[in-house]
A and B are shown apart, each in its own frame.
Chain A
Amino acid sequence: MQARAFREFLGYLSTSVGMALACSAYLMVSELHASASGYTYLVVLLAAAVCSVLALSIGELASMFPSAPGVRTYVRAGLGDAVSLFCTFGVLMVVLLFAGVECHALLLALRPWVDERFDLWVVSAVVLTITIVNLIGLELPQLLQVLFTIAIVGCLGSASLLLVIHSPAPSEAPPTMLNASLAVGGAIFLFTGFEWVTALGRSPKSYVARVPWSMPAALLVLGLMYSLLSAAFDRVDVGGTRANPAAQMAVAQLVWGAAGAKVMAGISVLSLFTTFNAGTMGASRLVYALARESKLPAWGKIVSTRSGSPIGAVAFVGLSVWVACLVILAGHFERAAMLACAALYCLVYCGFLLAAVRLRRKSPELKRSFRSPVPVAVQAVIGGALPFFGLAVLVSEPGQERAAVQLFVIVVAVLVAAVWRALPQRGADLSAAPAAAAEGKRGSA
């Protein structure tokens, strides 16, 4: 029984790690390096600690609403329909922006072998493949997912560790407090997606400990891996010159030479496919669920009677992702999109944390099979700080502030319009928190 439970826990752990592993994270490591050169690994560990507090709160929410689709359910119960819709549409928007950044990061990794002329074809092929896989309803076997995750973490971790052991640390002045705090918001971006595991629990018992603890455990693995990569990158890009935007490629090249670079390119492709596939699958399920709620048009709920796949939602997500990739790559908005994604996700995470804090006060009687050991005051302080981390990350990269802020403002405006349209009483106060959502849940736990 214990072995079975442990295997189940490992499944959640690898899913949580795998959801957060992305090509664009390597790009972010090199961006962070420009703000906190020589100390990026500390910033990464600090961000992992912040996310761990968040993970425990999300674990508590998951234990209250087992099997529910996280962001929509938890935030609605705690903060109301409007905020929940804002966060849910925000996650969908992140998937679109993120796709463009992912493709850019992949193209950087493949640049030695793929000429710029073929970029459009590579991106189109990737998006088309993932869309077709999801339209058909193919799913990667869990064992293969676990093996992919182990391969990516093992390869990146070992290359970084070897470089850290064999190269002396450069002596650099510590970053200013301002630069370090600007970097934390960006570092949170490295871990985004870890919480998608909450909807995958196999039974109510999974939510007592396995699902909730799999997230902090995943953050520990990711935190160690990214801090090692950051420390290794300190040895490659001394002074934060941004000469090597693809951090993973630079590290592998230095440790293992040309062969290592090829292996790392393969790892990058693997990272992209797993993240892209998970993003498309998760986003299409959200679109489908929102369409079933009549929050999105009816085409979102078209289902294939043969495969049972939500083909309307998958086609919509695939097409939107493709357009977003082309616009972002053609306009060279990759960095601005990455910063906007990081800022937006800080807002979404703020929604999770504040929902957990509010439900502790508002509905203490709701059954929780897992309780976050972090004091509510600490959760509230971190929840309150997250929007500031998000806004700080927008202005963290010299030369990109204007584009990042503009993009963020446009995205928020689109989200507010989408929420306004989806609300039952249009024009309702967006900050309103209908109590009915939580009332309806009292019988569920």
Chain B
Amino acid sequence: MNDLHRCLATFQEDANAHPRVRSLIKGWDRTASVVALDTDEVFRFRFEKGVITDVVPDTLGEDDDDEISIRGTVQILTDVFTGRQNPATAHLSGTLQVFASEKDQVKLDAITLVLWG
């Protein structure tokens, strides 16, 4: 398990342990991928039944069309998923790319807001 994988797993545990996050993602079933642009690593997980499923390493196919795709360098992704960097700021500066509907983008950001303020 590398650094990014470890920090995603920690994020999953923290989010699942947080009652407000569970309330936020209740009834919100989505598949999400996290793509490291500098190392081509891909991780996938699901928001399902009010929890985040295990984060699994994967590969990026030609026709991948996840409902949510979060992309950035390993450094940015690690900073964002550990709460060291505000994801909204990273997104506004263009360093973090989030492909999802506008509503889903706000929901994702809200999760980090609830977790880290």
Q: Which residues of A contact B (CB under 8 A)?
A: 1, 64-69, 72-73, 76-77, 137, 139, 199-204, 281, 285, 288-289, 292-293, 301, 303, 305-306, 308-310, 437, 440-441, 443-444
Q: How far is the CA of A369 from the CA of B20 in the complex (A)?
A: 40
B32 to chain A, nearest CB (A): 13
Q: How far is the CA of A64 from the CA of B94 in the complex (A)?
A: 8
- Which A residue sits closest to B107, measured CB to CB? A308
Could you tell me if A443 and B76 are in contact, using CB atoms closer than 8 angstroms? yes
Residue from B86, B93, B95, B99 in contact with A204 in the complex, judged by beta carbons closer than 8 Å: B99
Further pairs besides A73-B92, A303-B110, A305-B114: 12, Cβ < 8 Å: A67-B97, A67-B98, A137-B103, A203-B99, A204-B71, A204-B97, A303-B113, A305-B23, A308-B107, A443-B75, A444-B76, A444-B96
B88 to chain A, nearest CB (A): 3
B40 proximal to A (CB < 8 A): no
A-B contacts, 12 of them at CB < 8 A, read A68-B92, A69-B92, A73-B93, A202-B65, A202-B99, A203-B64, A292-B88, A292-B109, A305-B110, A440-B95, A443-B95, A444-B97
If A203-B99, A285-B106, A308-B106 touch, whether A73 touches B94 (CB-CB below 8 Å) is yes
Q: Which residues of A contact B64 (CB under 8 A)?
A: 203
If A204-B71, A289-B92, A292-B86 touch, whether A309 touches B102 (CB-CB below 8 Å) is no
Q: Which residues of B contact A440 (CB under 8 A)?
A: 93-95
- Which B residue sits closest to A88, measured CB to CB? B92
Number of B positions contacting A (CB below 8 A): 36
Residue from A200, A303, A444 in contact with B94 in the complex, judged by beta carbons closer than 8 Å: A444
Q: Which residues of A contact B3 (CB under 8 A)?
A: none
Q: How far is the CA of A146 from the CA of B20 in the complex (A)?
A: 36
Could you tell me if B72 and A444 are in contact, using CB atoms closer than 8 angstroms? yes
B24 proximal to A (CB < 8 A): yes
Could you tell me if B65 and A203 are in contact, using CB atoms closer than 8 angstroms? yes
If A305-B114, A443-B38 touch, whether A293 touches B103 (CB-CB below 8 Å) is no
Q: Which residues of B contact A68 (CB under 8 A)?
A: 91-92, 94, 97
Q: How far is the CA of A441 from the CA of B97 in the complex (A)?
A: 11
Residue from B20, B94, B95, B96 in contact with A305 in the complex, judged by beta carbons closer than 8 Å: B20
Q: Which residues of B contact A306 (CB under 8 A)?
A: 23
Q: How far is the CA of A285 from the CA of B64 in the complex (A)?
A: 27
Could you tell me if B91 and A1 are in contact, using CB atoms closer than 8 angstroms? no
A313 to chain B, nearest CB (A): 9
Q: How far is the CA of A67 from the CA of B96 in the complex (A)?
A: 9
- Which A residue sits closest to B109, measured CB to CB? A292
Q: Which residues of A contact B76 (CB under 8 A)?
A: 443-444
Could you tell me if B93 and A441 are in contact, using CB atoms closer than 8 angstroms? yes
- Which B residue sits closest to A142, measured CB to CB? B101
- Chain B residues 25-59 with CB under 8 Å of chain A are 28, 37-38
Could you tell me if B106 and A201 are in contact, using CB atoms closer than 8 angstroms? no
Could you tell me if A308 and B24 are in contact, using CB atoms closer than 8 angstroms? yes
Q: How far is the CA of A65 from the CA of B97 in the complex (A)?
A: 8
Q: How far is the CA of A202 from the CA of B102 in the complex (A)?
A: 11
If A1-B63, A293-B88 touch, whether A441 touches B103 (CB-CB below 8 Å) is no
- Which B residue sits closest to A441, measured CB to CB? B94
- Which A residue sits closest to B114, measured CB to CB? A305
B16 proximal to A (CB < 8 A): no
Could you tell me if A309 and B95 are in contact, using CB atoms closer than 8 angstroms? no
B69 proximal to A (CB < 8 A): yes
B89 proximal to A (CB < 8 A): yes
Q: How far is the CA of A191 from the CA of B94 in the complex (A)?
A: 26
Q: How far is the CA of A305 from the CA of B76 in the complex (A)?
A: 26
- Which A residue sits closest to B28, measured CB to CB? A308
- Which A residue sits closest to B102, measured CB to CB? A285
- Which A residue sits closest to B67, measured CB to CB? A202
Q: Which 8 A-B pairs have the closest CB atoms?
A: A292-B88, A308-B107, A65-B94, A303-B110, A444-B95, A67-B97, A68-B94, A305-B24
B60 to chain A, nearest CB (A): 10
B73 proximal to A (CB < 8 A): yes
Q: How far is the CA of A425 from the CA of B91 in the complex (A)?
A: 22
Q: How far is the CA of A73 from the CA of B86 in the complex (A)?
A: 15
Could you tell me if B73 and A288 are in contact, using CB atoms closer than 8 angstroms? no
B96 to chain A, nearest CB (A): 8
B112 to chain A, nearest CB (A): 9
Q: Which residues of A contact B106 (CB under 8 A)?
A: 285, 288, 303, 308-310
- Which B residue sits closest to A66, measured CB to CB? B97
Could you tell me if A201 and B102 are in contact, using CB atoms closer than 8 angstroms? no
Residue from A1, A199, A293, A443 in contact with B102 in the complex, judged by beta carbons closer than 8 Å: A199
Q: How far is the CA of A443 from the CA of B65 in the complex (A)?
A: 23
- Which B residue sits closest to A138, measured CB to CB? B103
